[in-house]
Amino acid sequence: MTTTPSDSDLIQSDVVAYLQKHENKSMLRFITCGSVDDGKSTLIGRLLYDSKMLYEDQVAALDMDSKKHGTQGAEIDFALLVDGLAAEREQGITIDVAYRFFSTDKRKFVVADTPGHEQYTRNMATGASTADVAILLVDARAGLMVQTRRHSFICSLVGIKHVVVAINKMDLVGYSEERFKEIEKDYREFAKNLGFESIVCIPMSALAGANVTENSEHTPYYKGPALLPYLEEIDISESDDAPFRFPVQWVNRPNLDFRGFSGTVASGTINVGDQIIAIPSGKRSVVESIVAMGDDSRTSASKREAVTITLEDEIDISRGDMICGKDAPAGQSDQFSVHMIWMADEPMLPGRQYLFKINNRTIAGVVTDLRNKIDVNTLEERPGKNVGLNEIAVCKINLQAPIAFDPYKDNRQTGSFIIIDRQTNATVGAGMIDHSLRRAANVVWQDLEVGKSERASIKMQKPALLWFTGLSGAGKSTIANLVEKRLHDMGRHTYILDGDNVRHGLNKDLGFTDADRVENIRRVAETAKLMVESGLIVLSAFISPFRDERQMARNLFEDGEFIEVHVNTPLDVAEQRDVKGLYKKARAGQIKNFTGIDSAYEPPMKPEIVINTVDMSAAEAAETIVKALEDGGYLTAN
């Protein structure tokens, strides 16, 4: 890597001044994005090469790799600089996000080369989430593609304000001014409602180096700066009066004499002696000291600095809480309207329970309402019942407890979250908080004078929910009927929520898609909870094919109140019975999404009771369940 003459002189005369000059340069984070084979990796490689940001051994290795893996004949293949994975080189595409750091005399840069293929949109969103500027590449021959629009929308969604449209491969269209202006017009028309503060279009040939670091003689009609000078000069400074936000990553307590709160400052500045407020506890205190690695004498900390803060008072603060400035605390809510990008092959189903990780806190929650999906081609809103891979949607979410937050438009760090699958722990989505739902603040629990225990006591029983699950035809309703009849004869107070009966009323608007099945179970579980609160022993007979939904139902109840009864009947036995003729219709294609045929059934992992209807009659099964209730103390008063 070379230095400029001025730098060389400075190194000779005052090396300390040289180091301070480069240490204090501003940092710009940017991404390259766009469709497959639009030249993203080549652009970064050319940028580093022409700006002389490569060491001699790197150039030698690139030359050697180009001869072995390159696609440019005897010429250097610049894409190989960032396409580091073997699979990337073999396929000639970018799969993972590749980050590179480099600096010029004027600025330091971190560039993320993101994948163009739709399959890896999740990786593109990851790279965009921390970027200040997006360089969107467009193949001059092809014009705007679906991925061009998708990536533009994601950039807008994650809050990127400045976009450079690099209309690449201009050498292959003869550096046509007409073609350049045509694509520029198309893009500005498409992006006019995306909210970018600036859009700069540059005719370019990354392969030939035209308008990358210097203006090209091939494009005399273009009067703007080349790409690198533009990146060096663009103003990305943010207001320095943003409220102080410090999500607590962990409580640092190495010994009895020290208790600090560690994390990274998300926004604003804090000083020793400043008053703070902790969210959600609302407790207030004063900053006693600020500690950073190797520096115990700090008096302040600002955005992106990782520090440990100690307070004058021993107030309750845990991982996931947020320390804020006293005059501008973060919001607090458990219900939100959000935008989300779905990143998993399995679709997102409203009503299914997921884990949401926000501000160092992981909390369970559900998507209660899918308001609409967004067509990335037209930006139109359209209805949907689930959200598939790479789709973008506007949803409402409900978390199990309030969290500290800011709307994403106000703070990208404290207004974003990821969604985690409870079963696999895989990250399945990412989202941005639009706003809290006002009803979350307006709706509060009403204390009731008569409680569940009082209601159950006069019924001489312990309330519970018997959740029968199993394939269609397994015998759930038959056994539940016999159990209720037996309990009724014993003078106990019960009610049955039967799958078919409920669909005649409460759930008659639902079909049998996976999304409708999830909502079906959610409504039934909430209804059953109200009945258990009234002191009843409730019996629910539903296929309830998914473990997640059964777990969601279980989570609504106290320990010991949810009794999962697996009516374990093999598919071939249930199909032979076929008392309602449903399997026959499903096999004939007359019923879609039928559990066991073309829709999955996930048996319970650890049910409280297992009934094998091959080995016992329905009456024997009912007696087994009643005995389990007697042994568990459910049929006696407290």
Please identify every residue annotated as catalytic: 544
The whole-angstrom separation of Cα 461 and Cα 634 is 6
Angle between helices 121-128 and 146-157 (to 10 degrees): 40
Question: What is the 8-class DSSP label of residue 78?
Answer: G
How crowded is residue 203: how many other Cβ atoms within 10 Å of its Cβ? Answer: 28
Question: At residue 30, what is the residue type?
Answer: F
Whether 213 contacts 225, CB under 8 Å:
no
The whole-angstrom separation of Cα 228 and Cα 408 is 30
Bridge partners (DSSP) of residue 394 are 339, 372
Beta strands in 347-490 (DSSP E): 353-358, 361-374, 381-382, 392-405, 416-420, 427-436, 464-469
The residue to which tokens 């407790």 are assigned: 283
The residue to which tokens 């202006």 are assigned: 181
Bridge partners (DSSP) of residue 200 are 164
Give whole-number Cα distances, 9 to 14, 18, 342, in Å.
8, 9, 53
Closest CA to 397 of 332, 352, 337: 337
Closest CA to 328 of 438, 410, 435: 410
The whole-angstrom separation of Cα 336 and Cα 239 is 26
Bridge partners (DSSP) of residue 102 are 109
Whether 359 contacts 416, CB under 8 Å:
no
Closest CA to 50 of 211, 247, 192: 211
Closest CA to 317 of 270, 249, 228, 266: 249
Question: What is the 8-class DSSP label of residue 439?
Answer: H
The residue to which tokens 């989505």 are assigned: 429
* Residue 519, burial from CB neighbour count under 10 angstroms (0-12, 13-18, 19+): buried
Q: Is the dihedral of CA 278, 283, 287, 291 positive or negative?
A: negative
Quickly list DSSP for 88-115. Answer: HHHHTS--S-EEEEEE-SSEEEEEEE--
**Pairing mode of beta strands 416-420, 392-405:** unpaired
Closest CA to 158 of 341, 21, 334: 341
The whole-angstrom separation of Cα 467 and Cα 543 is 10
Torsion angle (degrees, nearest 10) of CA 262, 264, 269, 274: -10
